[in-house]
Amino acid sequence: MTSLTRAEAADRAELLTVESYDIDLDLTTGDTRFRSTTTIRFRAARPGSATFVEVKPAELRSVRLNDTPVDAAGLDGNRLPLSGLRAENVLVVEAEMAYTRTGEGLHRFVDPADGETYLYAMSFLDDGQRIFASFDQPDLKAPVTLSVTAPQGWVVAANGALDGTVTDGRRRFVTTRPLATYLVSLIAGPYHARHDEHDGIPLAIYCRRSLAAHLDKDADEIFTVTRQCLDRFHQLFDVRYPFGKYDQAFVPEFNAGAMENPGLVTIRDDYVFRSAVTDSQRELRACTIAHEMAHMWFGDLVTMRWWDDLWLNESFAEYLGSRVTAEATRFTAAWTTFGLRRKGWGYAADQRPSTHPVAPEEVADSAQALLNFDGISYAKGASVLRQLVAWVGDEAFLAGLNAHFAEHAYGNATLADLLAALRRAGGRDLSGWAAAWLREAQVNTLRVEAEVDGAGRYGEVAVVQTAPASHPVLRPHRIGLGLFDRSGTGVVLRERLEIDLDPAVDGGRTVVEGLRGQPAADLLLPNHGDLTYAKVRLDPASAAAVPLILPLLDDSLARAVLWTEMIEAVRDAERPVGDLVALVLAALPVETEAVVVEDVLWVAGRFIDRYLDPAGRSVARGLVAQACDRLLAGAAPGGSVQLAAAHGLIAAADDPARLAAWLAGDGVPAGIEVDDDLRWMLLHRLAVFGAVDQAAIDAEAARDRSAAGAEWAARCTAARPDPAAKERAWREIVGDLELSNRLIEARAAGFWQPEQVELTGSYVERYFAEMPEMARVRTPWVADEIAQLAFPAYAVDPRTRELAAALLARDDIEPGLRRMVTDADDDLRRALAARTGR
């Protein structure tokens, strides 16, 4: 399919004004196709001119422009040319559309638990064209009136509320406020629903029937978080929630975390928890709710003009998601999660060869836009906004946002519009700030230099800012400096300073005058409060004290900054993985935040499996398992930390006998329930070791007939050290187009295991040989996922990099594959550097 370019979109926006979309869908015409009739009313600035409309039908049945037939054979890919436009036009497009199994367009899912069928629409980016005809670009917004004919007994919900009664299965929904085409959505099927109301806004949550009991159990928590977030946004913003009702539908096999369709947010139904989860997983759900709600203003009310301002959507939603979660819900440590988990994602993405500015000058087309939904547009952008708030003050920041909403409500805006609003509100010119932070890629390092005299007092203390040679840009930062002292059995914060680093004044070496002559602290922590986005490096004395001080620090955000400091130093091969493992042993057994346990173990596991050779890996895994065991022994039974420790132990354990015992219910710590997901986690590790056969996996799948069970079973099968199982899984990963997005991804997630490098050796070459075709035949989102998951990440060998270089030298590969291989190759480069000591 041809990807819409920025220039084409600009031309079309200049020519057309879309008045309305009338979309009529018939979902009663079989299991593979549905009927779609779109009526678009639009004006053209120059009568007699030509344009094109986008649609991706299974069969284009008829097209009429101003009551004159248009030849359907003119459809070229997804574009149908339209000529002879009048000042006022009516276009009617009738088509047969295909249901998808890839999470793009109108996804159709049959629940293995009970055979019921569920649909949901994902119009995001340019997949609305798989459902209805449209001028598919973010700045041609129009009111949408949707009608849907659905089978008896189905629930149908859409962006707008149901309008009147249902006749012969046909429902009409109220006309929406102007929407961007990528935000049109619906769900249809025998969905289970719960309703509520808050502050005059009707609320609903939906899920599959087979998940009803699990949703009901958490309905109070979900509605409570929703109400708290709505209230908080109404305090922050002058404009009330603008789209009537607020539905949140938990839908199956969803690609993203969630999607911000106005009035009908869709959320992956993995967030309907069927097994025990940690509070950090609940916090993630709350944060997702807050994130999507933030989009109602950022993205939905005011929409970016083109995808190069994607960050105006995602960075703001990410920032406000964490902020509102921390300020309004019980998950008050949301900034700790952001600091450790989300910023880590940002730092990793920002240091790869594919890095780009938060706000790129120009994104050429929509295919390129998809690749920018990454750690930079989300996590780095949100971090930069947090720094902006520290820089200009919260009052000016919010005043600027509110002016921006007032000016562009129901319309579109750009970075320049937002900066103008912020400048007017704060009276401070942000152009220099924006140039350094938003228009330049890569991350700075802030290194503390501290002189201490013979009496233990600070001489000169400085924060030295550096930039990578590839992007030699120093930035202004406002940061906290925390002075921590050991005291009795604990650690106290003696003082916190806030300082400005202004490279224009000091060339990047900022002397902290306030510290001269003060007694040296046991730990001098830069970026205390985590206000800026930068890698930090401690002074040597502070670094040496971390293993003693980190376990005693009450402040989880300060712990997150310290863990991140260690993790980024290991990634840069400035410190060995062994230092991180030693810190895990020293500090993790007394950790009190589940998210710290989960994230540190996850990152440590990635480093251990890739940066160490097999002998080193085995030793390191043993030490991590020891830390998990000590944490398990000390944590409150039934609590989140205990559960996180159990998950960590299962991932690190090299002892099949112990895992098998747990699966049989023997030796499980009190407070841990061996429920569905825990059973699958155990079985997955046992499958990796070859300690269970296919019959055991099949038996578990028969016991757990849920969709989640089917995904786990596929993953376990692909993980077995069995040549035939590997071969079958590989063929399905590369070319089985019948399997759903999730069932393919499950196979790819199970395929490569660090324990099976020899067994899977021949697939390293096959990856590079076969992925170009995979990426051509699969849809972009799924292809990108597979390219990433199926990459031979454990083949840490110069040969793998040679193969990657040969693939990247080709000019006939899909852009998504190019991005994924470029990034994965850079990760390999770092792994090789760590193994060889560079």
Pick between residue 179 and residue 587 the one whose CB is nearest to Zn ion.
179
- The residue annotated as part of the active site, out of 94, 292, 700, 732, is 292
Shortest distance, CB of residue 339 to Zn ion, whole angstroms? 19
Please identify which residue in 63, 97, 310, 317 interacts with Zn ion, judged by CB under 5 A: 317
How many amino acids of this chain bind Zn ion (CB under 5 A)?
Answer: 2
Pick between residue 346 and residue 589 the one whose CB is nearest to Zn ion.
346
Asked if 591 is an active-site residue, the reply is no
Count each helix (H run) and each strand (E run) in the chain, helices first. 28, 27
Distances in whole angstroms, Cα of residue 284 to Cα of each of 335, 341, 555, 572: 12, 11, 20, 28
Segment near Zn ion (CB under 5 A), from 79-87, 139-147, 317-325, 760-768? 317-325
Segment near Zn ion (CB under 5 A), from 243-251, 309-317, 746-754, 828-836? 309-317
Segment near Zn ion (CB under 5 A), from 29-37, 312-320, 571-579, 661-669? 312-320
40 forms bridges with which residues in the sheet?
21, 91
Q: Please report, to the nearest 10 degrees, the dihedral formed by the alpha carbons of residues 817, 818, 824, 829 taken in order.
A: 160
Q: Please report, to the nearest 10 degrees, the dihedral formed by the alpha carbons of residues 60, 64, 69, 71 taken in order.
A: -30
- Distance of alpha carbon 797 from alpha carbon 418, whole angstroms: 47
Shortest distance, CB of residue 290 to Zn ion, whole angstroms? 11
Segment near Zn ion (CB under 5 A), from 6-14, 59-67, 307-315, 623-631? 307-315
Segment near Zn ion (CB under 5 A), from 12-20, 316-324, 368-376, 632-640? 316-324
If you ran DSSP here, which 8-state letter would residue 313 be given?
A: H
Q: Contact at 8 Å (CB) between 658 and 667?
A: yes
Pick between residue 144 and residue 317 the one whose CB is nearest to Zn ion.
317
Place of tokens 């938060």: 358
Give phi and psi for 92, each to the nearest 5. -120, 120
The secondary structure of 569-592 as a DSSP string is HHHTTSS-HHHHHHHHHHHGGG--
Pick between residue 135 and residue 237 the one whose CB is nearest to Zn ion.
237
3-state helix, strand, coil in the chain (%, to 5): 45, 20, 30
Pick between residue 55 and residue 294 the one whose CB is nearest to Zn ion.
294
The b-or-e profile of 305-341 (16+ CB within 10 A means b, else e) is bbbbbbbbbbbbbbbbbbbbbbbbbebebbbbbbbbb
Q: Contact at 8 Å (CB) between 38 and 26?
A: no
Pick between residue 126 and residue 314 the one whose CB is nearest to Zn ion.
314
Shortest distance, CB of residue 322 to Zn ion, whole angstroms? 12
Hey, is 61 helix, strand or coil? strand
Q: Taken in order 72, 74, 78, 81, is the CA torsion positive or negative?
A: negative
Pick between residue 317 and residue 399 the one whose CB is nearest to Zn ion.
317
Query: Considering only residues 526-565, where is the footprint of Zn ion by CB under 5 A?
Result: none
Shortest distance, CB of residue 569 to Zn ion, whole angstroms? 31
Shortest distance, CB of residue 783 to Zn ion, whole angstroms? 21
- Distance of alpha carbon 525 from alpha carbon 543, whole angstroms: 10
- Distance of alpha carbon 255 from alpha carbon 477, whole angstroms: 36
Shortest distance, CB of residue 295 to Zn ion, whole angstroms? 6
Pick between residue 173 and residue 373 the one whose CB is nearest to Zn ion.
373
Shortest distance, CB of residue 380 to Zn ion, whole angstroms? 14
- Distance of alpha carbon 704 from alpha carbon 699, whole angstroms: 9
- Distance of alpha carbon 326 from alpha carbon 341, whole angstroms: 15
* CA-based nearest residue to 741, from 703, 714, 716, 772: 714
- Distance of alpha carbon 436 from alpha carbon 12, whole angstroms: 32
Amino acid at 382: A
H helix or E strand, kind and range, residue 321: helix 310-328
Residue 590 CA neighbour count, 13 Å, CB half: 13
* CA-based nearest residue to 116, from 81, 90, 155: 155
Shortest distance, CB of residue 299 to Zn ion, whole angstroms? 7
Shortest distance, CB of residue 289 to Zn ion, whole angstroms? 12
Of all residues in the shown chain, the one whose CB is closest to Zn ion is 317
Pick between residue 265 and residue 824 the one whose CB is nearest to Zn ion.
265
Segment near Zn ion (CB under 5 A), from 46-54, 92-100, 311-319, 688-696? 311-319
Place of tokens 């990963």: 733
Would you count residue 385 as binding Zn ion (CB under 5 A)?
Answer: no
- Residues sharing a CB contact under 8 Å with residue 836, sequence separation 6 or more, in sequence order: none
DSSP-H helix ranges across 720-814: 723-735, 741-751, 762-777, 780-789, 798-808
Pick between residue 317 and residue 531 the one whose CB is nearest to Zn ion.
317
Shortest distance, CB of residue 595 to Zn ion, whole angstroms? 20
Pick between residue 317 and residue 828 the one whose CB is nearest to Zn ion.
317
Shortest distance, CB of residue 233 to Zn ion, whole angstroms? 15
Point out which residues bind Zn ion (CB under 5 A).
314, 317
Enzyme catalytic residues: 292
